[in-house]
């Protein structure tokens, strides 16, 4: 879990300092990040973009956005 996830847990009222490592909160946060990244890359427009250059660029941008979200929250690929 990276620092940003800890900050968000703190804002939600969870005291991360007193929790053991690998808690359900950490797994839950990781699952949410993965679900968001998957939602971006599974966008119908992003999946069906092989015919036009612009659409291919859109699909690449969506995949890159998903990568950045995972990276921002320290979720491994």
* Average pLDDT value for the chain: 80
At residue 19, does pLDDT exceed 60?
Answer: yes
Output 1 or 10, whichever has higher pLDDT. Answer: 10
At residue 35, does pLDDT exceed 90?
Answer: yes
Query: 70: closest CA among 2, 12, 23?
Result: 2
Distance between CA 47 and CA 26 in Å, rounded? 30
Asked whether residue 39 is assigned to any structural domain, the reply reads yes
Say how many domains are in the chain.
1
Asked whether residue 77 is assigned to any structural domain, the reply reads no
Q: Say whether pTM exceeds 0.75.
A: no
pLDDT-derived band at 22 (thresholds 50, 70, 90) equals low
Residues 6+ apart with CB under 8 A from 51: none
In the chain, which ranges are E strands? Answer: none
Domain range spanning residue 43? 3-72
């Amino acid at each position: 879990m990276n620092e940003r996830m800890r900050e968000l847990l703190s804002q939600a009222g969870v005291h991360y300092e007193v929790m053991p490592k690998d808690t359900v909160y950490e797994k839950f946060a990781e699952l949410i990040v993965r679900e968001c990244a998957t939602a971006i890359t599974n966008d119908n427009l992003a999946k069906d973009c092989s015919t036009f250059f612009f659409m291919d660029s859109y699909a690449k941008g969506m995949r890159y956005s998903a990568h950045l979200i995972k990276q921002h929250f320290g979720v491994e690929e």
